[in-house]
Amino acid sequence: MTRLFKSREALLALVIVLMTALIAWRFPAFIAPANLASVFNDTAPLMILALGQMIVILTKCIDLSVTATLALAGMAAALMNGAGVPLPVILLAVVVLGAVLGAVNGLLVWKVGIPSIVVTLGTMTIYRGVIFLLTDGKWVNAHEMTDGFKALPRAVLVGLPVMSWIAVVLIAVFAVVLNRTSLGRAFFAVGGNPHAAVYAGINVGRTQFAAFVISGALAGLAGYLWIARYAVAYVDVASGFELNVIAACVIGGISIAGGVGSVSGVILGAIFLGVIANALPVIGISPFWQMAISGSAIIIAVAFNASQSRVKGRIILKQADA
């Protein structure tokens, strides 16, 4: 019981509930089930991206190129749609394209040994640049997309839009994979103690590569969802959103040093940001506050994370040159 109260997820959930209650006290319509569902739906792309980012951060890396991948895959989806490619093929293609873009990051980290922050800082501009090369900077607007293409994320199934269901399914899959499979545990092992991971027979580089591929594939899928939902594709789609993705992870208790975090934490972190984003217009605060609020949330969260994890184990065996 005390463990539950001390857990960061419980604390974060409490903060979210209090925040929502505070908003509902002045604006009861905010907690109408339909509105809560729409908050969840709005946050779905953030959750999907944050799940991918989470496993990358677990392995001591970082992926700054997620939203560039999202934008490139989304533009590819829009262009394929314009060329008359059927929707199932498009869906498959965006996931594969995202995975390939993630694999480029992963290979540079794994085989060439470049720090992930440098790799993804570079690929983030390259991927966006490629969109420009593909389109000459032109936009793909709503009237150039077919109705079926735009309708899928909004189609309602058992009370929730498809986009929400995709997020729900992915959360479930991640919870199982991270806790119940050897690949999932490898992500934690690689970040928690790379030397120990090597001795345990885990290939550190390959695990990091896998994390980048998964993160890329999710970004690709999110790319289609994003473009189809907002019904417009251009070079700067979701530009700067990667900071929100990292913020969701940090707020959710993922340690940037790797090896620490949970799916529920990340999802709560994303919901925290989602509630704020949706509440600002309701309580009449200019949306221009959003950026400063998420910045402060990141700093507070990382300070809190650090104070929670002061006691650390010591490495007794030194460098394993395996």
Interface positions with other proteins (CB under 8 A): 59-62, 108-109, 112-119, 121-126, 128-130, 132-133, 137, 190, 194-195, 197-198, 204-205, 208, 235, 243, 246-247, 250, 256-257, 286, 288-299, 302-303, 306, 319-322
Cβ-based nearer residue to other proteins, 172 or 303: 303
Q: To the nearest whole angstrom, how small is the minimum distance from the Cβ of residue 129 to other proteins?
A: 3
- Secondary structure of residue 193 in the 3-state scheme: coil
- Least distance in Å: CB of 41 to other proteins? 24
Q: Which is nearer to other proteins, 2 or 286 (by Cβ)?
A: 286
Cα 63 to Cα 118: distance, rounded to the nearest angstrom:
10
Taken as a whole, the chain contains a residue count of 322
State the minimum distance, in angstroms, from the CB of residue 91 to other proteins. 28
Q: How far is the CB of 320 from other proteins (least distance, A)?
A: 7
Whether the CB-CB separation of 253 and 269 falls below 8 Å is answered with: yes
- 84: burial class by Cβ within 10 Å (0-12, 13-18, 19+)? exposed
**Closer to other proteins at the Cβ: 235 or 271?**
235
Amino acid at 193: N
Nearer to other proteins, 77 or 246 (CB): 246
DSSP letter, residue 161: E
Cα distance between residue 117 and residue 92, in whole Å: 28
User: Shortest gap between Cβ of 215 and other proteins (angstroms)?
Assistant: 15
Report d(CA 91, CA 163) in Å as an integer. 13
* Distance of closest approach, residue 296 Cβ to other proteins, in angstroms: 6
Q: Which two tokens stand for residue 166?
A: 């995709």
Of 31 and 293, the one with the shorter C-beta distance to other proteins is 293
Q: 239: which 2 tokens?
A: 């530009």
**Is the Cβ of residue 32 or residue 299 nearer to other proteins in the bound state?**
299
Torsion of CA 113, 117, 118, 122, to 10 degrees: 120
